[in-house]
Structure 1
C-alpha cells in the first residue's frame, strides 16, 4: 500500500499488522524518500523481532499476532516516532527532508536473514496529516 506524498508538516501512518512465523529479513513498513538514501525509516522483522532497519531492537516476539503500528513523521522537526500497540518504542532524527515522501507497508526484502517466503497482512490503514 502506498500513501499520499508529502514534503512538510506532521504525518502519521496507522494500521494493524500481522507477520506469520517464518517471514524474516523483510521490511514491513517504511517511509520512502530522504535527502540521504532511499528511505527515511524502515521497520524490519528478523526471526520475530522488529528492528529499525537491521539494527536497533524495537519489539520482540511479534510473529502470529495482530499489532498496531503508529508511525509519525514530523518533517519540519526532523523526527520520526514509532508506537507499537500504543507504546512509544522508538524515536530518531529523520534522514533529511526529501521530496515526495510517503508511507509504504507490505514486505520488501532487506539485506539480512532473508527467508524464502515473506508475508505481512494489514488492515484498518489510515494516514493522518496535522
Structure 2
C-alpha cells in the first residue's frame, strides 16, 4: 500500500525531530500531493500606510515584489493602533478547513530587523490575530520571536514553505526544502496568508523584504 502524502510528511517531521542535524534526511518537496491554485494580480491586495501612494512603499518588476516600510510610517488605516506595515494579503482563497500551503522565495536586506515577513492570519478582530508569523531579528528567521529557523538570512534568496493542516491543528515550516519547525495551531477560524513587512517590537528604522514566485496550494 502506498503511503499518503500527509503520512509521508508526518514521518519526515518525526525523523527530523530525532535527527535535527541531518539536512539531507530532512529535505523534501513540501508541495508533493498538493494542488497549485492559480493566482492573478487581483488576488494580491496591498496594505500600506493610509496616507501614502502604493508606489511610495511597493514595486513589482521582473517578477519581484519589493515592499518596504519605515518605523515612523502611519498604520494602514486611520485610527488604527497597529504598527506600520507594507504587506500583501492574498484574497479569494480564505480557508477554514483542509490542508493549505504557502510558498515563496524571499530576500531580506541587511539591517532589516524586528519585523514580520509572513503571516497566517485569523479572521478580522480575533485575538490572537495569527496562527503563525515568520519574523526576522538581527539576521535570524524566527517563528514569532521564539524558535530560530534559519541563521544569516540577510542578502540572499531563501525558499519558504508553510503547511497549515487546519483539521489536524498543525503547522509545518520548511526553509529551502528542509523541515525547520512544527507547531500547534490556535484552533479553527477563517484564515488567510500575508507577506511583506510589518513592524514588531524593536523594529529597525527601515524594513524591507522582496518576494518572487509566491504560490498557494491545497489538497
Q: CA deviation at 1:56?
A: 1.4
Identify the residue that residue 200 of structure 2 maps to in structure 1.
Answer: 110
Query: In structure 2, the residue corresponding to 1:120 is in which secondary structure?
Result: strand
Whole-Å Cα distance in 1 between the matches of residues 179 and 89 of structure 2? 24
Identify the residue that residue 185 of structure 2 maps to in structure 1.
Answer: 94
Identify the residue that residue 32 of structure 1 maps to in structure 2.
Answer: 121
Structure-1-length-normalised TM-score: 0.94
Higher relative contact order, chain-length normalized (CA < 8 Å, sep 6+):
1
| Larger fraction in helix | 2
Q: CA deviation at 1:95?
A: 1.1
Alpha carbon RMSD of aligned pairs, Å?
A: 1.1
Higher CA-based Rg: 2
Query: In structure 2, the residue corresponding to 1:2 is in which secondary structure?
Result: strand
Q: CA deviation at 1:55?
A: 1.3
Post-superposition CA distance 1:106-126 (Å, at most 9, x none): 000112x31000000000010
Whole-Å Cα distance in 1 between the matches of residues 107 and 137 of structure 2? 14
Q: CA deviation at 1:84?
A: 0.3
| Larger fraction in strand | 1
Conserved 8 A contact 1:67-1:84:
yes
Identify the residue that residue 79 of structure 1 maps to in structure 2.
Answer: 170
Identify the residue that residue 14 of structure 1 maps to in structure 2.
Answer: 103
How many residue pairs get aligned? The number is 128
After TM superposition, which residue ranges in structure 1, 4 or more long, deviate above 6 angstroms?
none
